[in-house]
Amino acid sequence: MAIFLTRRLLRYTTLVGVVLFVVLTLSSNKDGSSYVSTYLPASLDFSSNGAPQQDKLSTAEDLKEKEKVDAAKLLQEAKLEQDANSDVAFDADAKKVTTDAKAKEVAADAVAADSAAAPAAAPKKDTPAVVDSKLTKDTLEFLAPSFKNKGKRPKATFVSLVRNNELGPMLDAIKYVQRKFNDQFKYDWTFLNDEEFTDEFKTKVSAAINATVKFGKIPKEHWSYPDYISLDKAAETREKMKNIIYGGSESYRHMCRYQSGFFWRHPLLDDYDWYWRVEPSTKLYCDIKYDVFQWMQDNEKAYGFTITIHEYEATIPTLWDTSKKFFKAHPEYIAKDNLMKFISDNGGEKYNLCHFWSNFEIGNLNLWRSPAYRDYFETLDRSGGFFYERWGDAPVHSIAASVFLPKSYIHYFSDIGYHHPPYDNCPLDNKVWKENNCECDQNNDFTFKGYACGRQYYDAAGIERPSYWEKYSH
């Protein structure tokens, strides 16, 4: 009996000991609740009730922390996907940097706009409806007065930067523009030169145009070296780059810098909102039967082009990095739904060298007068790349327009037959080609050729390429 009693006691003692051990182990484990919940069926999960207070707090914090990390991860993934599939607000660093509040807001908003792609990714409080409108406000604000003029004749001018010795090729270009368009619409012409125009130039040009013609001299400070540029370094660059197209030219650099940062500041342009750039030796192939300035204005377009092309990389080694730094420092200038995809194949990491060929531009001057562009140009100019490399105004304008404007503000004039040596834009639509008496060969159209960027543009703009595009791609 005594032995029997002792054995029962021993069994009870062992049982109690085991139970005590289990309870003590669970409550001393910091992650006890999650440990238990992992191994218990959901219906038996007591993690939210049974865990000690201290554990409950740390669990909630952990979860919150985890949620934040997950949300950030989702934002990045969704942003990457969106950059790959469509063209949302640009922020190359949103992929890497999650500490930049503004970048996160842009990304959060982009994700929120596509709730199907990442429904849980953007907490409501992070969705910056207000910040968002602020992001594009400045540039669009500068454009707004021009669009208020809808239905009325726009304040517009042709603008040609030209040298006296280009009189002949300039007259050729003027004849095309006048005959195909401006004899009917009678917009002003403004001619600019870094030297005084000769009397012969002024007389002959004026005789070729049946509208108001203005001649202006460029102020010295717009066509000379800023004091922060080293003349020696600029000369060394020209020597080093002499085997690249225009690489050895000093005047070409002044010209590119002028077209980038100054033509729109010339006092003669103060009277206008719109410009159409015309260069010597260019041609118009087709009749233009509608008022393109008014069309731009009434359809809220700010930048129009005809030809796209890749830039020579050797002329712009640091342009993209300089631009990227600027965009990172100024997310407020980046337009939502911009055309980043036209200039970058990987969401802004690298420039793909695509640009609008700026010898033809129909645009709104207020785009360049905007705080975003002024600021951007100032940053580029201070970095020295116009002189220490050979930055062209075409990539500069194109990068700015693609980033500061919503893509709907940029227009491809597929209906304007245009030639700047050696390339053509020739309407591929037979109806357009016939109705406008085009004098070009559609087989020479550059749009879809390999060295052009028409394919990139159509994809980035979200426009379907014409069914026959491949026929004209070789």
Ligand X SMILES: Nc1nc2c(ncn2[C@@H]2O[C@H](COP(=O)(O)OP(=O)(O)O)[C@@H](O)[C@H]2O)c(=O)[nH]1
When CB distances are held under 5 to 8 angstroms depending on the partner's kind, the choice from ligand X, Mg ion, none that residue 255 binds is ligand X
**Residue 293 and residue 274 in contact, taking contact as beta carbons nearer than 8 Å:** yes
Which of the residues 222 through 261 are near ligand X (CB under 6 A)?
Answer: 251, 255
Is residue 172 near ligand X by the rule CB under 6 A? no
Q: Which of 161, 401, 410, 452 binds ligand X (CB under 6 A)?
A: 161
Catalytic pick among 361, 389, 435, 439:
361
Residue closer to ligand X, measured from CB, 112 or 307: 307
Helix, strand counts (H, E) of the chain: 20, 12
Q: Could you say whether residue 279 binds ligand X (CB under 6 A)? A: yes
* The two three-digit tokens of residue 299, written as one number: 């359809």
Termini Cα distance of the chain: 106
Smaller CB separation from Mg ion, 358 or 370: 358
Long-range contacts of 149-154, Cβ-Cβ distance < 8 Å, separation of 24 or more: 149/273, 149/297, 150/297, 150/298, 151/298, 153/291, 153/294, 154/273, 154/274, 154/293, 154/294, 154/296, 154/297
User: In the complex, what is the shortest distance from the CB of residue 283 to Mg ion, in angstroms, rounded to a whole number?
Assistant: 12
Least spacing, CB of residue 104 vs Mg ion, in Å? 44
Beta carbon nearer to ligand X, 92 or 309: 309
Question: Do strands 274-277 and 283-284 pair parallel, antiparallel, or not at all (unpaired)?
Answer: unpaired
DSSP H or E segment with residue 199? helix 199-207
Q: Does 100 bind Mg ion (CB under 5 A)?
A: no
Total of chain residues touching ligand X, rule CB under 6 A: 11
Is 359 a residue that touches ligand X (CB under 6 A)? yes
Give the range of 72-80, 159-167, 261-269, 293-301 binding ligand X by CB under 6 A: 159-167
CB of 362 to ligand X, least distance (A): 15
| 440 belongs to the binding site for ligand X (CB under 6 A) | no
**Contact range with ligand X by CB under 6 A, out of 46-54, 158-166, 318-326, 402-410:** 158-166
91 binds, among ligand X, Mg ion, none (CB under 5 to 8 A by kind): none
Q: Which amino acid, 251?
A: S
Span interacting with ligand X, options 88-96, 157-165, 373-381, 452-460, rule CB under 6 A: 157-165
Other C-beta atoms within 10 Å of 335: how many? 23
Q: Which of 110, 156, 162, 209 binds ligand X (CB under 6 A)?
A: 162
Task: Dig out the tokens for 107 from the structure.
Answer: 């990304």
Question: Among this protein's residues, is 141 annotated catalytic?
Answer: no
CA–CA gap between residue 395 and residue 72 (Å, rounded): 33
279 is a contact residue toward Mg ion (CB under 5 A): yes
> How far from the centroid of its chain's Cα atoms is residue 336's Cα?
10
Give the pairing type, strands 361-364 and 213-217.
unpaired
- Length of the chain (residues): 474
Q: What is the contact mask toward Mg ion in residues 355 to 374, using x (rule: CB under 5 A)?
A: ----x---------------
Query: 460 near 344, Cβ under 8 Å?
Result: no
Interface stretch with ligand X, choices 18-26, 50-58, 160-168, 232-240 (CB under 6 A) = 160-168
Q: Can you tell me the distance from the alpha carbon of 404 to that of 125, in angstroms, rounded to the nearest whole number?
A: 26
Nearest to 338 by CA among 90, 110, 104, 130: 90
Residues that bind Mg ion (CB under 5 A): 279, 359
As annotated, the active-site residues are 361
Residues that bind ligand X (CB under 6 A): 161-163, 166, 193-194, 251, 255, 279-280, 359
